[in-house]
A and B are shown apart, each in its own frame.
Chain A
Amino acid sequence: MATTATLPQINKPLAQELNPSLVEGNLSYHEVTEQVCEIVEGAVHRNWYIGFAISFSIFLMMVGMLGYQLFTGVGVWGNNAPVAWAWDITNFVFWIGIGHAGTLISAVLFLFRQKWRTSINRAAEAMTLFAVACAAIYPVMHTGRPWRTYWLFPVPNLDLNMWQNFRSPLMWDVFAISTYGSVSAVFWYMGLIPDLATLRDRAAVAGKHTRAMILGVFSLGWRFSARHWTNYEKMYLLLAAISTPLVLSVHSIVSFDFATSVIPGWHTTIFPPYFVAGAVFSGFAMVQTLLLVTRWALGLENLITSKHLDNMNKIILATGMIVGYAYATEFFIAWYSANQYERFVFFNRAFGPYWWAYALMVSCNVLSPQIFWVKSLRTNVIVTFIMSIFVNIGMWFERFVIIASSLHRDFMPSSWGYFQPSYVDICTFIGTFGFFMTLFLLFLRFIPCIALSEVKGAMAAQAHLPGHEPVKGTTPVHAGGHH
C-alpha cells in the first residue's frame, strides 16, 4: 500500500494545498473535547441571552398569531380564491426544503466517505429537525382544527368512519414528512449518544451529580466499549442508507402536491428533480447562514474551516445551476408544448403582475451564485454569508412564484386576482424564524454542536495525509507501514 514514505516527495505547501485541513490549530484530541464541551459546560455568554431573548420574543409573536388564527379562523390569512394556497404552503415548502441539507450532509456525504461533513453534520441535522418543526406548523394550522390533526393519519377514526384518500399527494406528504422527521430525529440522536456520554463522564468527574444523572439517562448506558462502537457504526451506516433515499423522495413528494394537479405552471414532470435540487440549494445556504454566525460567536474557526465553506459553496453553485437549468427548461417546454395556457402562465410569470418576484428569484438563485466560480470568493466569509442570505431569499421567492403566479390567473378572467398577505401571514412567517432560532440557540447551549467522536476520526485520517503532522499527543505508530 502506498504511503507517505514511498510517494515522491512533494513540497509541504503544495501537499497542504492538495489536502487542506479540516481541523486546524494542531490540537490534541483532548483539546478538541475541551473546546467543544466548554460551550456547553461553561458560563452562559451574555450574547446568548440577548439572542435568546430576541428569538423567544419573535416566537411568542408567532404563538400569538397562531392563537388568533385558531380562535378567529383561517380567514385571517390573505388566501382567497383564486390564490387559495399562498404563504402557508410557500413557507411549508421553504422550511421542508431547508432540512434537506442536513440529511444530505449526514447521510449522503457519509456514504461517500466525505470527511469534511464531520464538523458540520451535528448542527446541520439539528437544523433539519427544527426546519421540519417549523414546516409542520403550516399544514397543521391550515386544517383550522389542529386538535384533529390525527385525522391526517390512517388510524381507525370513529368521527369520520372513512379512510384518507390514498390517491391524494397530500396524503403522501403526510407519510413523506413524518418519515423524514422521525428518521432524522433517530439519526441525530444516535450520533449524539457518545458525545452525551462524554458530557456525562465529565460531569461525574467534576462531581456534578444531578447533571451526570440527567445526561446518563439520555446517553442510554453508553460505555465507550469496543462492542458499543461496532454496533454504533453498523447502525449509523444503516440509518445513513435509510436516510439517503429520503433526500430524494421527500421533496419529490412535496412537488407532487403541485405536479399531479392540472394547473398550468404546476403540471410538469420536471418538478421532482427540480424541487430536490432547490431543496439542497436552499438547505446549504441556511447551513452557511447558521454556521458562519455560530463559528464566529463560539470561536470555532479551527473546526469549521475555509475548506468547509469552499465545499458547501461548490454544492450551492452546482445545485443553483440545476435550478437555473430547470427554470429555462420550464420556459422551453411551455413554448414547445404549443399549449396556449402553459405559454400564457410562463409569459405571465416573468412579465405579469408578479414580475418583480420572478426577477428577484432569478437574480438570487441563478445569477448571484455564479460568483462562486472564483475560489477566493468561495472561501471568503463575508461573501459567503451575504450569498447565503441571497439564496435563502431567492428560494423563498421561488416557491412563492410557483404558487402565487400559477394560481392568480385562473382559467376564467372573471376569477383573476392578486394575492396580498395579511399582517397575520407576515407575522406568522417572521415568527417561525423566532421558533427556529429559539430551538437552535437551545441546541447550541445544551448539546455539543460539533460531533466530537466524528471530528476525532477526521483528525486521525487527516494526520496520515501528506503535508500533515500526526495528531498532537499521539505517537505515529505506523511510521511508513500499513495503515
Chain B
Amino acid sequence: MPQIFPKKLDFFTRFSGAVLIMAALSGVGLAYYVMSPEVLETGYTPAQPVPYSHKLHAGNLGMDCYYCHTTVDKAAHAAIPPAETCMNCHSKVKEKSALLAPIRESYETGKAVPWVNVHVMPDYVYFNHQSHVTVGVSCVSCHGRVDQMVEVKQVQPLNMAWCLDCHRNPAPNLRPVQYVTKLDWKPEGDPAEYGRQVIAAKGINPPQNCSGCHR
C-alpha cells in the first residue's frame, strides 16, 4: 500500500487546524459583539422632520418633560405632543421660521408631524410608562440626559437583560415622585440606600416573571 499523505502535510494540518479553531472562536466572539444591543441599538439618532432641540427647550429654558409628554404618569404610552402644544409658544415666537413649517402645516391641516420613533420596543413587550413614573423611576434612567441632547439619541440598549437588571435591583433608580423629570437630581447620601427606603415604604416588587411584560 503506497503512503497516501506526504510527511510535510503534518505541519500543514496542525497549522490550518489551529487557524481554523482560532477563526471559529473569533468569528463567534465578533458575531456576539456585533449582534449585541449595545452595538446595534444604542446611539440610534434618527433625523427628525423638525430639528427640535431638547437641549434648548428642556435644558436651557427649563421646560418640564410633562409640559409636552402629558400622559407619562397616566397611561402606558408616552404621548408625543400635537402641533397645538408647539403653537402655544410658536404662534408668537419664531412664528415665521422656515424650520417650523411642518409644525404650522400640521396645525392647519390636522395631520400629524411625522416624528421618527427613537425608542422602539418590540410588539410583544408591554412597557407601561405610568407604572414606572408614578413609583419614582426617572425619565433619565431609560432615556438618559435628554435635557443635554440637541437630537434625541438612544443611550440604553433597552434589551431584556437590561430591563431585568433594574427589575432585580430597582433601588438605584428610585427617587421622590416629584423629581422624576428633574434629570440632574441627586439624592443626599447613597442613592441605593434612599431607594431601599422607597421600596420598603411603597412595597415595590417589580415583576420578574414572563407575563410581567409579555402577555
Chain A contact residues, CB within 8 Å of chain B: 147, 157-162, 200-201, 204-205, 209, 212-213, 216
Chain B residues within 8 Å of A212, by CB: 4
A209 to B35, CA, bound (A): 44
A204 to B3, CA, bound (A): 9
**What is the total of A-B residue contacts with beta carbons within 8 Å?**
32
A160 to B167, CA, bound (A): 13
Cβ of B10 under 8 Å from chain A: no
A161 touching B4 by the CB < 8 A rule? no
| Minimum CB–CB distance for A369 against chain B, Å | 44
A160 to B214, CA, bound (A): 14
What DSSP secondary structure best describes chain A's contact surface?
Answer: helix
Chain B residues within 8 Å of A200, by CB: 4
B24-83 interface with A by 8 A CB criterion: 32, 35-37
Chain B residues within 8 Å of A162, by CB: 161, 164
A160 touching B4 by the CB < 8 A rule? no
Cβ of B165 under 8 Å from chain A: yes
Cβ of B160 under 8 Å from chain A: yes
A159 touching B160 by the CB < 8 A rule? yes
Given contacts A158-B36, A159-B37, A159-B159, contact A204 B2 (CB under 8 A): yes
A161 to B164, CA, bound (A): 7
| Minimum CB–CB distance for B190 against chain A, Å | 24
| Minimum CB–CB distance for A73 against chain B, Å | 10
B165 touching A161 by the CB < 8 A rule? yes
Chain B contact residues, CB within 8 Å of chain A: 1-2, 4-5, 32, 35-37, 159-162, 164-165
Q: Could you jot down 18 A-B contacts, CB within 8 Å?
A: A147-B35, A158-B32, A158-B161, A159-B36, A159-B37, A159-B160, A160-B161, A160-B164, A161-B160, A161-B161, A161-B162, A162-B161, A200-B4, A204-B4, A209-B4, A213-B4, A213-B5, A216-B4
A159 touching B4 by the CB < 8 A rule? no
A216 to B6, CA, bound (A): 12
Chain B residues within 8 Å of A201, by CB: 1
A160 touching B2 by the CB < 8 A rule? no
Chain A residues within 8 Å of B161, by CB: 157-162
Most buried by A among B2, B4, B32, B162: B4
A216 touching B1 by the CB < 8 A rule? no
Most buried by B among A158, A205, A212, A216: A158
A160 touching B160 by the CB < 8 A rule? yes
Chain A residue with the shortest CB-CB distance to B159: A159
Chain B residue with the shortest CB-CB distance to A201: B1
Chain A residue with the shortest CB-CB distance to B164: A161
Chain B residues within 8 Å of A157, by CB: 161
A158 to B161, CA, bound (A): 6
| Minimum CB–CB distance for A388 against chain B, Å | 42
Chain A residues within 8 Å of B159, by CB: 159
A213 to B32, CA, bound (A): 36
Chain A residue with the shortest CB-CB distance to B124: A144
| Minimum CB–CB distance for B98 against chain A, Å | 41
A161 to B4, CA, bound (A): 51
B165 touching A205 by the CB < 8 A rule? no
A204 to B5, CA, bound (A): 11
| Minimum CB–CB distance for A477 against chain B, Å | 27
Chain B residues within 8 Å of A160, by CB: 160-161, 164
A220 to B14, CA, bound (A): 14
Chain A residue with the shortest CB-CB distance to B9: A213
> A157-B161, A159-B36, A162-B161 given. 15 additional CB < 8 A pairs?
A147-B35, A159-B37, A159-B159, A159-B160, A159-B161, A160-B160, A161-B162, A162-B164, A200-B4, A201-B1, A204-B1, A205-B1, A209-B4, A212-B4, A216-B4
